[in-house]
Amino acid sequence: MPVGQIVKAISGFYYVRSPEGEEIQCRARGVFKFKKKKLTPLVGDYVQYEMTGPGEGFVTSVEPRQTELLRPPIANVDQAVVVCSLREPEFQQMPVDRFLVHGERAGLDLVICLTKRDLVDDDSEVERIRAIYQTAGYPVIATSIRTQVGIDELKKYLAERTSVFAGQSGVGKSSLLNQLLPDRKLQTGAVSQKLGRGRHTTRQVELIPLGNGGQVADTPGFSQLTFQGFEPEELSDCFPEMRERSARCRFRGCLHLNEPGCAVKEAVENQEIHAGRYNNYLQFLTEIKEEQQRRY
């Protein structure tokens, strides 16, 4: 039975790209079997399928996943490109850090892409943001679709990779993808001046091939990512700059709050870890504990 990849899912139909590049519209055969296993096919899944007619078929099984994200819902991506704007709306660190945490937990490589570089006068804002993520080791690319700054650099990161583009609404994900996919124009939306954020223009997750051997996923914008299912002890492992230092903490399972001999807090005090990243860690830790209290 042939194996293809789900590239789009709409209203109960799964659009499967065959090994020959044909897009086949499929239903899920034995859908109740999927539900019993609590397995819902996702965009990015490799699936076995059975042809029932020209361009039509049934998905019969889902192959084991290498990676999985629940929001945005997508499987088998190698890399997440976290898109955030420098202006309109202003750069916001907390939502970026939220997605980085979820990407780390899913085992993805991560790239931060700043958009609308043409709206800032110099590189000081870009360098300020780079300094935040320097000790975490995340690449930070500043781009502009108007001046083409950074577009070629971004393409190098996307080559031969399956990447998910994610970020808040209005930061320019679809506009950026339009630069990478000139033959395919995705809908874009203006940023609300009153609210300072954009409208959702992407309605579903879709996996789109690039010309450099890679493929990218355009996803609906997100406003919040929760930490449901997280344990407090695992959060610092999702901050690379903390993960490499926590082994030197005096106590095993250190939460980096008020424990003596905490290597992470020492690094924050010595400005080796950015204070804003640490403060967001504390906020996320509080949310995890509150979610645990609701659970029990």
Question: Domain containing 239 — which CATH number?
Answer: 1.10.40.50
* Coil, strand or helix at 128: helix
Do 142 and 83 fall within a single domain? yes
User: Does the annotation place 175 within a ligand binding site?
Assistant: yes
Do 58 and 83 fall within a single domain? no
Do 12 and 31 fall within a single domain? yes
Do 84 and 194 fall within a single domain? yes
pLDDT of residue 188: 52
Do 44 and 182 fall within a single domain? no
Is the residue at 195 inside a domain?
Answer: yes
Q: Are 110 and 138 in contact (CB under 8 A)?
A: yes
CA dihedral (158, 164, 166, 172) positive or negative: positive
User: Does the annotation place 174 within a ligand binding site?
Assistant: yes
Helix (H) or strand (E) holding 154: helix 151-158
User: Does the annotation place 200 within a ligand binding site?
Assistant: no
Is the residue at 227 inside a domain?
Answer: no
Do 149 and 206 fall within a single domain? yes
User: Does the annotation place 26 within a ligand binding site?
Assistant: no
286 backbone dihedrals φ, ψ, rounded to 5°:
-60, -45
User: Does the annotation place 169 within a ligand binding site?
Assistant: yes
User: Does the annotation place 254 within a ligand binding site?
Assistant: yes
For the whole model, what pTM was predicted?
Answer: 0.84
Do 214 and 84 fall within a single domain? yes
Is the residue at 226 inside a domain?
Answer: no
User: For 140-160, how does the pLDDT look when each residue is reduced to its tens digit (9 = 90+)?
Assistant: 999 999 999 999 999 999 999
Is the residue at 206 inside a domain?
Answer: yes
Kindly state the percentage of the chain with pLDDT values over 90: 69
Question: Domain containing 97 — which CATH number?
Answer: 3.40.50.300
Please say if the pLDDT value at position 196 is more than 60: no
Is the residue at 75 inside a domain?
Answer: yes
pLDDT band at 195 (very low <50, low <70, confident <90, very high): very low
Mean pLDDT value of segment 219-248: 87
User: Does the annotation place 256 within a ligand binding site?
Assistant: yes
Do 123 and 202 fall within a single domain? yes
* Total domains present in the chain: 3
Do 208 and 252 fall within a single domain? no
Pick the closest to residue 285 from 255, 241, 248, 253 (CA basis).
255
Do 105 and 243 fall within a single domain? no
Mean pLDDT value of segment 213-240: 84
Please say if the pLDDT value at position 172 is more than 70: yes
User: Which of the two residues, 72 and 228, has the higher pLDDT score?
Assistant: 228
User: Does the annotation place 163 within a ligand binding site?
Assistant: no
Is the residue at 224 inside a domain?
Answer: no
User: Does the annotation place 113 within a ligand binding site?
Assistant: no
Mean pLDDT value of segment 40-54: 94
Pick the closest to residue 91 from 67, 126, 143, 57 (CA basis).
126
Mean pLDDT value of segment 83-91: 95
User: Does the annotation place 140 within a ligand binding site?
Assistant: no
Mean pLDDT value of segment 9-35: 87
Mean pLDDT value of segment 75-92: 94
Do 52 and 72 fall within a single domain? no
Helix (H) or strand (E) holding 84: strand 79-85
Is the residue at 225 inside a domain?
Answer: no
Domain enclosing residue 245, as ranges: 232-295
User: Which of the two residues, 4 and 229, has the higher pLDDT score?
Assistant: 4
Do 55 and 169 fall within a single domain? no
Query: Which residue, of 218, 251, 266, is where some domain finishes?
Result: 218
Is the residue at 9 inside a domain?
Answer: yes
Comparing 16-20, 67-71, 75-79, 240-244, which segment has the lowest mean pLDDT?
67-71
Which residues fall within 8 angstroms of residue 163, CB to CB, at 6 or more apart? 77, 78, 79, 80, 81, 111, 157, 214, 215, 216, 217
